[in-house]
Structure formats: C-alpha cells, structure tokens
C-alpha cells in the first residue's frame, strides 16, 4: 500500500548555480546539510523554488541524486527526498516520475499542466493525474499552486476524487485556502492522504485544522523556527505557537516581497555564507547588496537572529 510522507515540515529547496548557470555543487551540498541539521522532515527537490522548469531531464535527475547522496553520506538517511515531477505532457511527467525513483526519491509531487488552461476541465485534470499516478513507481502527491499553473486551482471536490486513487497519497496546497485544507483533512485519515500547507503563513493554522504540516519556501531560511513551532504545538504551548506563527507570517510576506527564488538565495548567501543568488532566466537576479536598508530584508534578518539563537 502506498503511504504518504510523514507529518512534519518540509522545504522546497532552492538550487544554487555558478556564474555559468551550472550546478554549484558545494553550495547545494551546504544548503542540504544546513536544512537537515535544522531538523527538516524532508527536502522537496524541484518544487517551485527549485527551478525545475529551467532544468534538463538529466539535471533534474542529478539534483535528486545529489541531494539523496549528500544526506546519506552525512548521517541523514532518515530525511526524505520528494521530487517535483510536473511537466506539460502526460508522457513526460510519467518519465520524470521514473527518473525520480532511479535517483533516490521516496515520493513525487506533481503540478497540473497549464499550457492550455481552457482545455484543463475538472475531468481532464482528474484524467491526467490518474494516468500519471497509475504509471508512477513512487507514491504520488498533487501540487496545487495556481500562481504557476496559469490560475488553475483544484477545488476540494477534485482533490478528494483523486485522493481515492490507491497511489495518490497527499497534496500540497500553495493556494493558501485553509477551508479547502480542512475539508480534505477531515475527510481522509492523515496516514492515508496527507494534506500539507504550501506556505509558512498558515502553518500553525493548518496543523490545528488537521493538516500534516507544511512544505514551504521560508524553511530554506528558517528551518529551526519551523521545527520550534511544531514542538510548541505538540507540547500544548498554543499561545507561544501562535506568537511564533505571527512572526513566520511576516517573514513569509517579506521573502515574497524580496523577489522570490532569487531573494531566498540572496538572503541565504548573505546570512549563512554559501552560494550566490544566480538564477536562470527569465528570472531576475537579486544582488546581495540591495538587501541593505530594505525593510523586508530587515524583517527576515531579525528572524534569522532568532533562528541562530536556537
């Protein structure tokens, strides 16, 4: 029986490049290890922060393999590797799922194709995910992120229909709809179909509503604080957990305003001493120097001081 990833907090890891836009292997490894030492339950390779659409098939496979190898060789075999395997055709998505297994992933996370949004009716979306899940050698999760799928937003009825497939074991909701999350989490046992928040700004709320945790970009910067929030919740320290959630909410917004993927890389480079904020076009790079005096960068910097104090 296919099982979902365990509850916890996961990170859609950024992928570091050198000045030639080739993999910066040392920086990638440094990042993977800092996240693992920060207690993450798992690492999502080629989530929306991993620039999957900017990579060749070989590069996508290599990023998964490198992440798994780095974890295994440094005592973190328990940290899961989930692979983003979304593509614009059913055929290609199936191949990427096979590649993910060969490279060492435990689960796949799949976006809905969006090149032709008028043709992506509910029936066609359901057909696509079922066909790929049938072929996937790994347990399969649905990734709902309207911002990167031309506005396609799977509702709770569509996801609930897909959840009945024996190989579909969860979803990541980057749409931020807490009502959708609660409807799904209250319909399916968490050990059969896990519902994850896709952002940090409703991490705690999602857990209170029965969610399995979060898979969120801000974990790239603040893994320890996400772990602390989960610990506070588990210990019943609800007031402190809500106060920390408020801080993460401000941090989440600040990172978005700093420029998304390049902003994450710039912050990590500046505060943790590895990597440079190169991105592949058409994304726009953010120079580390521009962080000085920026109010959003200052918000994140305050949280990083708290992170480093843990």
Classify 169 as helix, strand or coil: strand
Burial track 248-263 (b if 16+ CB lie within 10 A, e otherwise): bbbbbbbbbebbbbbb
DSSP codes, 74-89: TT-TTSEEEEE---SS
Which residue bears the tokens 């999602």?
A: 206
Query: Could you say which of 61, 94, 172, 180 is catalytic?
Result: 172
296 is catalytic: no
Query: Could you say which of 9, 10, 140, 143 is catalytic?
Result: 143
Classify 45 as helix, strand or coil: strand
CB 214 within 8 A of CB 245: no
Q: Which two tokens stand for residue 41?
A: 């339950």
172 is catalytic: yes
215 known member of a binding site: yes
Say how far apart CA 190 and CA 307 lie, in whole Å.
Answer: 29
Helical residues (DSSP H) of the chain, grouped into ranges: 25-37, 57-73, 90-103, 122-135, 156-163, 178-185, 203-208, 223-234, 238-257, 260-272, 295-308
Active-site residue list: 143, 172
Binding residues for pyruvate: 215
What residues form the annotated binding site? 215
């Amino acid at each position: 029986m296919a099982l979902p990833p365990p509850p916890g907090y996961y990170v859609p890891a950024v992928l570091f490049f050198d000045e030639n836009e080739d993999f910066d292997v040392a920086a990638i490894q440094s990042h993977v290890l800092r996240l693992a030492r920060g207690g993450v339950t798992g690492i999502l390779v080629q989530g929306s922060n991993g620039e999957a659409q900017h990579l060749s098939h070989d590069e996508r496979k290599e990023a998964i393999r490198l992440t798994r190898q780095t974890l295994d060789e440094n005592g973190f075999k328990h940290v899961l590797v989930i692979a983003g395997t979304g593509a614009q055709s059913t055929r290609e998505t199936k191949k990427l799922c096979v590649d993910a297994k060969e490279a060492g992933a435990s689960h796949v996370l799949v976006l809905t194709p969006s090149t032709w949004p008028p043709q992506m009716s509910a029936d066609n979306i359901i057909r696509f995910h079922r066909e790929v899940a049938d072929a996937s050698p790994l347990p399969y999760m649905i990734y709902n992120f309207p911002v990167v799928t031309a506005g396609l937003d799977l509702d709770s009825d569509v996801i609930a229909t897909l959840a009945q497939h024996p190989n579909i074991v969860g979803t990541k909701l980057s749409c931020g709809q807490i009502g959708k999350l609660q409807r799904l989490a209250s319909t399916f046992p968490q050990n059969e179909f896990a519902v994850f928040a896709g952002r940090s700004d409703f991490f705690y709320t999602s857990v209170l509503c029965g969610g399995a945790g979060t898979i969120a970009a801000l974990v790239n910067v603040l893994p320890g604080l996400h772990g602390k929030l989960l610990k506070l919740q588990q210990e019943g320290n609800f007031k402190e957990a809500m106060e920390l959630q408020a801080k993460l909410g401000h941090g989440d917004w600040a990172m978005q305003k700093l420029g998304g993927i390049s902003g994450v890389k710039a912050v990590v480079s500046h505060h943790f001493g590895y990597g440079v904020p190169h991105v592949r076009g058409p994304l726009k790079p953010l120079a580390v120097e521009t962080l000085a005096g920026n109010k959003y960068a200052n918000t994140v910097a305050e949280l990083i001081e708290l992170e480093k104090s843990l």
